[in-house]
Amino acid sequence: MCTYIVEKTEVLGSGKGTQGWFSLNQAVVGFDHPSHAPLDHAVLIDFVDEKGGPSARVAVELSTASARDLIKAIQSALDAAEHEHVVDGAPALSVRA
């Protein structure tokens, strides 16, 4: 059964595809049948540059356990950076001068 679960968020970053590095401005996170991973359902994450077309996309398909472990690892890295005073609390989409 398809779930059609999809969440979108703006992001500021870069991704590397077959043509090299490109800017990212959106992440699309879903939970549904994967296209490639050998799983019945997966967490699907697409990092995209909406203006760049299909080649400006980095896609991943993760098991639910792997996705939960990734969430923990990201949170742990951010907590460590905050502890080291590297994270300044600036808005997520701010651009450094």
Beta strands in the chain (DSSP E): 5-17, 20-32, 42-48, 57-62
pLDDT values of the chain reduced to their tens digit, one per residue, 97 residues:
788 999 999 999 999 998 899 999 999 999 999 999 999 999 999 999 999 888 899 999 999 999 999 999 999 999 998 888 777 655 555 444 3
Helix (H, G, I), strand (E, B) or coil at 77: helix
How many Cβ atoms from other residues are within 10 Å of residue 46's Cβ? 18
Residues 6+ apart with CB under 8 A from 52: 22, 23
Question: In angstroms, rounded to a whole number, what is the distance separating the alpha carbons of residues 43 and 88?
Answer: 30
- Enter the pTM of the model: 0.82
Helix (H, G, I), strand (E, B) or coil at 31: strand
